[in-house]
Amino acid sequence: MKQKITIKTIAKELGVSSSTVSKALKDSHEISKETKERIQAYADHYNYKPNHLALQLRNQKTKVIGVILPKIVHHFFSTVISGIEDGANKKGYNIMVCFSNESYKKEVETLKVLSNGSVDGIIMSIARETLHNKDYDHFKGIVSEEIPFVLFDRVVDEILCDKVVVDDVGAGYKATKHLLENGRKKIALITTPNHVNVGALRRQGYEKALIEQYININTGLIVEIDETKSIKPQIEKVFENDIDGVFAVNEIYAANAMRIAKELGKSVPNDISIIGFTDGLISEYSSPSITTIAQHGFTMGQQAVDLLIQRIENDAIDFRPKKIVISSDLKLRESTKSM
Amino acid sequence: MKQKITIKTIAKELGVSSSTVSKALKDSHEISKETKERIQAYADHYNYKPNHLALQLRNQKTKVIGVILPKIVHHFFSTVISGIEDGANKKGYNIMVCFSNESYKKEVETLKVLSNGSVDGIIMSIARETLHNKDYDHFKGIVSEEIPFVLFDRVVDEILCDKVVVDDVGAGYKATKHLLENGRKKIALITTPNHVNVGALRRQGYEKALIEQYININTGLIVEIDETKSIKPQIEKVFENDIDGVFAVNEIYAANAMRIAKELGKSVPNDISIIGFTDGLISEYSSPSITTIAQHGFTMGQQAVDLLIQRIENDAIDFRPKKIVISSDLKLRESTKSM
DNA sequence: TATGAACACGAAACCGTTTTCGTAAGGTTT
DNA sequence: AAACCTTACGAAAACGGTTTCGTGTTCATA
């Protein structure tokens, strides 16, 4: 890389002090018009750009927000990033993105790297493995050093920090209720293992909707997908019951369910209704298109970053952690057209 | 945020100089065993972490790679990011991700921000609007300042830098040839306007395959999608011709084509074969599943970042820009099952 | 003519770390 | 006893910028 021009070189070349150059470039009233013009012309000509590192060191802030995600090739998370970037940008921040790849070890490492001062604050969603281990010690340092920190979507109560979540219980309830209103009686739930808390919450909503209608919870209709194994056979199993509705907690599960239904010669939505979660492209473009719960990832990202920047910029803010709950909407499509 | 402990505070507390502390923490032989132990114990106890900004300023490197993408809620680009992050991480780098949102203006701004020294090098893919304007002046600064810079996928010859691309012509050829081998004669091409160079290249491959079979290029079968308008009607128009094959340059177009075919009562793949580009989730989960050209985005990201880090770390590297061409594969699925 | 602004600029400290170059104290050779 | 070598540490400069606090002119006012 070429040697960059600095304030010092400008000062030397023009025979003034670096303070003068600094002030001139900021158009300070302390500097005479002629000197300012000379310096600014020189800086322009040699394309002077202030060195960000020096500024960061002096100001003790980086204007960078760290983001740690379980994965990126994933519609919901990429939507959230998009929202974070949008919100950050509006306030003059950039984002540094890292991935835990759902691994506990990588999450710990990444968190350590980001908390060494390269970012002003961190937004993250917890890795699946970490949720499974229930090992949250690596967050203690973050909290005790009072690094601005916001968790979203996959959060846990044990960590005292700001949080942004969707109303998972309410969403699960809405989805299930919609199926019930469609006249469905035997509704399967395809969910994650219970340690993934969003899965557990959506399940609560599912159960609440059933109980309200005096329908017993049949655990035979509930599949907790083990992602280390092939997904499809696990879902196929629940189809052995004579189900007429499926509520899947993400769109991959929903798409798999639909495929299986078709293979079994069942018509969607005539014989069976299917509803997914996360409004991604699969749901939109499959045929029939799939009714889903729209999670508003973009909004979630924006809210998370707004919360974080408040913490960063207002030291005097209320100490108590805030929790923002984003409501989710039912997006009606073909897979649950009422008969 | 809590005040962090620095070398200076340690020095003051222990009544030694900061040079001694710095050396002691690095286990230098210059420092006596007792002093080292005292200092290290103190540092451990107060959880001392070196300030990254100070190190970056001193070393004149950030160990951060800037990435500028047109968008992120997009299967291919998110896959590439994933590859970049993976490759960067292995070499001890982090990535700072920005988006141009396909906008020329935002691209210019972002490029300016990233080239002020906050990153050691930049990887990017050009925004649609920029390609349309053909205005590449903002890259001149990057090139003349010799900032390590790699373009991928959406690249242009005018910019002298390292590049990583897929063999778009070859891929278009492969796709079209596959349709021809399936016995298709009237093959529609659904592509981007010509200024998006990858679209243009894939079209070349399409035309080459047809010409080889002595089939005239019928421009009536070629649709250049205007993304500012609704996509579906534009594709519907080409179905007015009695086509029996579709080659779409991305999976959204392919999915749209399939939906239209179904609505017209045509069976895929019996009456019409469809092939897409970018092996994303839509292709995999639609029914019938869609044959696509797999672009190997992950590999592409890795190669791009490897190239970049070579530039960053080897000043003495060959000056001439390198170009890596990644071969793409046909991923056979149901939408082109031979009859 | 003395007083005091107003103006235009420079010196120096500071952010946190590393690294080069002293140097004082003590020990070992001749 | 002179010459030299270790050992163990500190002072200072450097990275690039900002900011506070002088300070020497010049010019207007009392």
In a domain, B337, yes or no: no
Instruction: Kindly state whether residues B290 and B185 are assigned to the same domain.
Output: yes
Going by their DSSP bridges, the two strands A291-294 and A329-331 should be labelled as antiparallel
Nucleotide nearest to A30 (CA to C1'): C8
Asked which of A14-23, A308-317, B196-205, B288-297 is least confident by mean pLDDT, the reply is A308-317
Instruction: Kindly state whether residues B229 and B274 are assigned to the same domain.
Output: yes
Instruction: Kindly state whether residues A128 and A91 are assigned to the same domain.
Output: yes
Q: Among residues 191-250 of chain A, which lie with CB inside 8 Å of chain B?
A: none
How confident is the model over B311-336, as a mean pLDDT?
Answer: 90
In a domain, A2, yes or no: no
How confident is the model over B324-339, as a mean pLDDT?
Answer: 90
Instruction: Kindly state whether residues A270 and A301 are assigned to the same domain.
Output: no
pLDDT at residue B240 greater than cutoff 60: yes
pLDDT for B234: 97
pLDDT at residue B202 greater than cutoff 80: yes
Nearest CA of chain B to the CA of A258: how many Å?
A: 9
Instruction: Kindly state whether residues B288 and B220 are assigned to the same domain.
Output: yes
Structure tokens at B103: 């906008």
Instruction: Kindly state whether residues B194 and B282 are assigned to the same domain.
Output: yes
Q: Could you tell me the pLDDT band of residue A337, with boundaries at 50, 70 and 90?
A: confident
CA dist., res. A321 & res. B80, Å (int): 36
**Is B51 an 8 Å CB contact of chain A?**
yes
Residues 23-62 of B with CB under 7 A from strand C: 23, 25-26, 30, 48-51, 53-55, 57-58
Which of B96, B145, B285 is the closest to A282 by Cβ?
B285
Going by C-alpha positions, the residue among B71, B300, B83 that lies closest to residue A81 is B71
Q: How far apart are the first and last CA of chain B?
A: 67
pLDDT at residue B144 greater than cutoff 70: yes
Q: Could you tell me the pLDDT band of residue B1, with boundaries at 50, 70 and 90?
A: confident
Within A51-196, residue ranges assigned H as helices are 52-59, 75-90, 104-114, 128-133, 138-144, 168-181
Which amino acid is it at A234?
Answer: Q
Question: pLDDT by residue (tens digit) across B90-118?
Answer: 999 999 999 999 999 999 999 999 998 89
Instruction: Kindly state whether residues B185 and B282 are assigned to the same domain.
Output: yes
Quote the mean pLDDT of chain A.
Answer: 94
How confident is the model over B58-78, as a mean pLDDT?
Answer: 95
Residue nearest to nucleotide D10 (CA to C1'): B17
Instruction: Kindly state whether residues A192 and A276 are assigned to the same domain.
Output: yes
Which of B71, B117, B144 is the closest to A52 by Cβ?
B117
Going by C-alpha positions, the residue among A220, A204, A206, A201 that lies closest to residue A131 is A201
Q: Could you tell me the pLDDT band of residue A194, with boundaries at 50, 70 and 90?
A: very high
Q: Three-state DSSP class for B121? A: strand
**Is B287 an 8 Å CB contact of chain A?**
yes
Quote the mean pLDDT of chain B.
Answer: 94
Q: Three-state DSSP class for B124? A: strand
pLDDT for A316: 65
In a domain, B1, yes or no: no
pLDDT for A314: 85
Residues of B in contact with A255 (CB under 8 A): 281, 285
pLDDT at residue B150 greater than cutoff 70: yes
Structure tokens at A101: 């790849």
Q: What is the CATH number of the domain that holds B181?
A: 3.40.50.2300
Q: Say if the Cβ atoms of A281 and B286 lie within 8 Å.
A: no
Instruction: Kindly state whether residues A284 and A318 are assigned to the same domain.
Output: no
Question: pLDDT by residue (tens digit) across A246-261?
Answer: 999 999 999 999 999 9
Question: pLDDT by residue (tens digit) across B263-311?
Answer: 999 999 999 999 999 888 999 998 899 999 999 999 999 999 999 999 9
Angle at B219 between CA B213 and CA B224, to 5 degrees: 120
Residue B240 vs residues B186, B234, B244, B260: alpha-carbon distances, Å = 12, 11, 11, 11
CA dist., res. A118 & res. B95, Å (int): 12
Torsion of CA A151, A155, A156, A160, to 10 degrees: 10
How confident is the model over B190-204, as a mean pLDDT?
Answer: 94
How confident is the model over B247-269, as a mean pLDDT?
Answer: 94
Q: Say if the Cβ atoms of A285 and B282 lie within 8 Å.
A: yes
Q: Domain tally for chain A?
A: 3
Range of the domain at A35: 7-50
In a domain, A183, yes or no: yes
Question: pLDDT by residue (tens digit) across B28-41?
Answer: 999 999 999 999 99
Instruction: Kindly state whether residues A115 and A204 are assigned to the same domain.
Output: no
Q: How far is CA A290 from the centre of its chain?
A: 22
Instruction: Kindly state whether residues A162 and A301 are assigned to the same domain.
Output: yes
Nucleotides of D under 7 A from a protein CB: 7-12, 14-21
pLDDT at residue A339 greater than cutoff 60: no
In a domain, A1, yes or no: no
More confident residue, B317 or B263: B263
Going by their DSSP bridges, the two strands B187-191 and B149-152 should be labelled as unpaired
pLDDT at residue B339 greater than cutoff 60: no
Q: For residue A122, give every residue at least 6 positions away whose Cβ sits within 8 Å of its Cβ, in sequence order, or none.
A: A65, A66, A67, A68, A111, A114, A115, A142, A147, A148, A149, A150, A308
Question: pLDDT by residue (tens digit) across B7-26?
Answer: 999 999 999 999 999 999 99
pLDDT at residue B47 greater than cutoff 80: yes
Within chain B, residue ranges assigned H as helices are 7-14, 18-25, 33-45, 52-59, 75-90, 104-114, 128-133, 138-144, 168-181, 197-212, 231-238, 251-263, 281-285, 297-313
pLDDT for A326: 96
How confident is the model over B221-226, as a mean pLDDT?
Answer: 96
Cβ atoms within 10 Å of A180's Cβ, excluding its own: 17
In a domain, B105, yes or no: yes
Residue A243 vs residues A6, B77, B178, B317: alpha-carbon distances, Å = 71, 38, 41, 64
Q: DSSP characters for B312-328?
A: HH-TTS-SSPPEEEE--
Residue B93 vs residues A245, B65, B83: alpha-carbon distances, Å = 47, 7, 13
How confident is the model over A51-75, as a mean pLDDT?
Answer: 95
Question: pLDDT by residue (tens digit) across A128-175?
Answer: 999 999 999 999 999 999 999 999 999 999 999 999 999 999 999 999
pLDDT at residue A319 greater than cutoff 90: no
CA dist., res. A74 & res. A260, Å (int): 22
Q: Could you tell me the pLDDT band of residue B235, with boundaries at 50, 70 and 90?
A: very high
In a domain, A58, yes or no: no
